[in-house]
């Protein structure tokens, strides 16, 4: 359905406070650079509205920025003098089908289509009634657009692979304002870029076509230790990860538990199985090998996506200030030593640091770039480390952001690169793709957006343009 008059707010004719409220309203992070002011704001309700936004930018010789869910820590969607198109009002209209133009009743199809602004919680709520799930993001309010374009470190990524590998097609609006479909056989280079280009994707995704999985029961084993046991416990987690059950996600977290004044280190094992007996069998070897000294132990307790989304929402509270960074620590490093400062010196009680086990996904041979399974995403190691620094008072900005950058300045010298989603290109230059994939991505961007109409990567001074990020370690240059 088209919208002949899409809702557009212009900077020069809209009350400044009203304009500001729309521009920043759905940005999750309250730490914001409000000096960046778009030229116009478009609340898209249809693909036609997205086309209108691109045409408006073209008429004003400016760029288009895109917002799916608003969870970018650095507020990538808000760009100076750009036309900001917000996809949040695109109809959910999640529907089931095998490809472009085919949206039959469920009838056993494994493919679901949905707008880019759909969240993981919304999509899995829809799929639950059909006995299916999509291994999207852990945080419930993250829009699929940004999540999947960055690759998507979803549920049980270490074994099931990246969420973007379950994308079978995308509908996009190009930098010229054309509506096209991309898949492994149609506009294949654009489809390749949609799986790992992140905010540098040279078009606007309006709809994804996703391969879903059978909905399984979920069980969890949890072991909470004093932070003094950090090195011993993390080494245990690292040692058991490669041979652990293939339906079990493994995460280690340093955080302050509610009501506890002492920093703790916990190892969490989430198992997806058809029955509790199967989950118990899968989790038993982990339980039997656990180190002594845990403050809390939970073995094979039933959980669900809905419950886990609630836990994640509590860990990422609204109305707070955030600074996130990450690294893929090299496989041959002494990982517990490299990450010790990040895990043991958190600057605020709501902050947390995570270790996400990636082996065996990280050990697979990459698919050929020209195959249907090919993807721009090409940076990973066995060890993913991320900092989520959370605070409330603006006066703590310098202290908290300084801590993050100090920790990452040391860690990145032991890393292969980083993940796009938890990065801020304005403050740290690093590697996000293999050399080959980075080169190809630059070529795809020049082909599909030669004028740099789509904003792309927000680096220092927003100067990256058509060339995009340099894909290199700053400390090596």
CATH number for the domain that contains residue 238: 3.40.462.20
> Residue range 103-116: average pLDDT?
68
Q: Average the pLDDT over each of 168-177, 367-376, 416-425 and give the range with the smallest value.
A: 367-376
What is the mean predicted confidence (pLDDT) over 362-379? 91
| Domain-embedded: residue 243 | yes
Q: Cβ(145)–Cβ(195) under 8 Å?
A: no
Q: Flag whether pLDDT at 435 surpasses 70.
A: yes
Are residues 295 and 260 part of one domain? Answer: yes
Look at 99 and 73; give whichever has higher pLDDT: 73
- CA angle, 431 then 433 then 439, to 5°: 105
Residue 335 vs residues 237, 381, 383, 429: alpha-carbon distances, Å? 11, 12, 8, 22
Considering the domain architecture, whether residues 266 and 395 belong to the same structural domain is answered as yes
In a domain, 230, yes or no: yes
Say yes or no to pLDDT of 192 above 80: yes
| pLDDT exceeds cutoff 50 at 436 | yes
Enclosing domain of residue 348: 217-422
Task: Name which residue leads in pLDDT, 428 or 107.
Answer: 428
Tokens of 444: 């795809």
| Final residue of a structural domain among 422, 443, 461 | 422
User: For residue 50, is it within any domain?
Assistant: yes
pLDDT score of 95: 55
For residue 367, what pLDDT band results from cuts at 50, 70 and 90? Answer: confident
Positive/negative CA dihedral, 38, 42, 43, 45? negative
CB 316 within 8 A of CB 113: no
The residue among 36, 57, 86 that closes a domain is: 86
**Do 354 and 282 have their domain in common?**
yes
Sign of the alpha-carbon dihedral angle for 24, 27, 31, 33: negative
pLDDT value of position 2: 46
Report the Cα 147 to chain-centroid distance in Å: 4
Which CATH number is 17's domain given? 3.30.43.10
Phi, psi of 383 (to 5 degrees): -125, 105
Q: Which residues is 321 bridged to in the sheet? A: 391
Per-residue pLDDT at 259: 87
Question: Looking at residue 31, what is its pLDDT?
Answer: 97
* Single residue among 32, 56, 86 that ends a domain in this structure: 86
Residue 447 CA to residue 466 CA, distance in Å, equals 10
pLDDT in tens, 388-402: 999 999 999 999 999
Q: What integer pLDDT is reported at residue 476 of this predicted model?
A: 84
In a domain, 471, yes or no: no
Q: How would you list the strands of the sheet with 95-96, edge to edge? A: 95-96, 111-115, 203-211, 167-174, 179-182
Residues 31 and 130 in one domain: no
Kindly tell me if the per-residue pLDDT of 101 is higher than 60.
no
Average pLDDT over residues 69-88: 96
* pLDDT-derived band at 90, boundaries 50, 70, 90: confident
**Contact (CB, 8 A) for 181 and 169:** yes
Same domain, 331 and 239: yes
Look at residue 78 and tell me if it is in a domain. yes
Residues 301 and 266 in one domain: yes
**Domain assignment of residue 469, yes or no:** no
216 pLDDT exceeds 60? yes
Q: Is the pLDDT of residue 215 over 90?
A: yes
The answer to whether residues 45 and 126 belong to one domain is no
Give the chain's mean pLDDT: 94
Asked whether residue 196 falls in the same domain as residue 290, the answer is no
Indicate if the pLDDT at residue 58 is higher than 50: yes
Tell me the two tokens of residue 186: 């149609």
pLDDT tens, 245-300?
999 999 999 999 988 999 999 999 999 999 999 999 999 999 999 999 999 999 99
Any domain includes 429:
no
| Residue 105: pLDDT over 50 | no
Residues 76, 191, single domain; the answer is no
The pLDDT score that the predictor gives to residue 368 is 86
Helix runs in 241-346, H state only: 276-289, 305-315, 335-338, 340-344
pLDDT in tens, 222-242: 999 999 999 999 999 999 999
Say whether both 130 and 272 belong to one domain. Answer: no
Q: What span, in angstroms and rounded, lies between the C-alpha atoms of 403 and 382?
A: 25
38 lies in the same domain as 155: no
369 and 267 in one domain?
A: yes
Instruction: Give a yes or no: residue 338 inside a domain.
Output: yes
| Total number of domains constituting the chain | 3
Q: Look at residue 99 in the predicted model and tell me its pLDDT.
A: 41
**Tokens 């002594």, located at residue:** 292
């Amino acid at each position: 359905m088209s919208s002949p008059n899409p809702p557009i707010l212009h900077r020069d004719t809209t009350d400044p406070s009203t304009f500001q409220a729309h521009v920043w309203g759905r940005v999750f992070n309250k730490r914001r650079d409000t000096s960046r002011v778009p030229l116009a704001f478009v609340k898209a309700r249809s693909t036609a509205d997205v086309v209108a936004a691109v045409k408006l930018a073209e008429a004003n010789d400016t760029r288009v920025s895109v917002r799916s869910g608003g969870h970018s820590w650095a507020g990538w969607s808000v760009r100076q003098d750009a036309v900001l198109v917000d996809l949040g009002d695109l109809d959910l209209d999640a529907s089931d089908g095998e490809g472009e133009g085919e949206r039959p009743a469920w009838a056993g199809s494994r493919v679901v289509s949905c707008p880019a602004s759909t969240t993981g919680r919304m999509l899995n709520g829809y799929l639950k009634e059909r006995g299916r799930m999509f291994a999207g993001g852990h945080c419930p309010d993250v829009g699929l657009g940004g999540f999947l374009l960055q690759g998507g470190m979803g549920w049980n990524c270490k074994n099931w692979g990246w969420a973007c590998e379950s994308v079978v097609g995308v509908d996009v609006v190009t930098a010229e304002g054309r509506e096209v479909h991309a898949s492994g056989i149609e506009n294949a280079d654009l489809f390749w870029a949609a799986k790992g280009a992140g905010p540098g994707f040279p078009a606007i995704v309006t709809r994804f076509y996703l391969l879903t999985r059978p909905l399984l029961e979920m069980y969890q084993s949890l072991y909470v230790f004093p932070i003094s046991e950090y090195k011993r416990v993390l080494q245990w987690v690292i040692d058991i990860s490669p041979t652990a059950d293939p339906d079990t996600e493994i995460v280690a977290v340093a955080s302050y538990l509610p009501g506890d004044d002492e920093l703790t280190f916990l190892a969490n094992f989430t198992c997806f199985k058809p029955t509790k007996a199967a989950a118990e069998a899968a989790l038993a070897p982990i339980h039997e090998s656990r180190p002594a000294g845990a403050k809390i132990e939970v073995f094979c307790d039933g959980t669900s996506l809905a419950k886990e989304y609630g836990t994640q929402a509590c860990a990422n509270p609204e109305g707070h200030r955030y600074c996130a960074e990450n690294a893929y620590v090299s496989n041959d490093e002494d990982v517990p030593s490299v990450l010790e400062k990040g895990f043991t010196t958190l600057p605020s009680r709501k902050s947390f640091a995570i270790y996400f086990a990636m082996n065996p996904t990280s050990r697979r041979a990459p698919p050929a770039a020209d195959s249907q399974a090919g993807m721009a995403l090409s940076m990973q190691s066995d060890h993913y480390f991320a900092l989520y620094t959370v605070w409330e008072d603006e006066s703590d900005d310098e202290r908290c952001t300084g801590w993050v950058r100090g920790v990452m300045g040391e860690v990145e010298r032991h890393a292969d690169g980083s993940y796009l989603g938890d990065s801020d290109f304005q403050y740290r230059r690093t590697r996000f793709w293999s050399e080959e994939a980075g080169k190809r991505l630059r070529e795809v961007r020049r082909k599909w957006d030669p004028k740099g109409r789509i904003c792309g990567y927000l680096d220092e001074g927003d100067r990256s343009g058509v060339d995009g990020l340099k894909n290199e370690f700053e400390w090596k240059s």
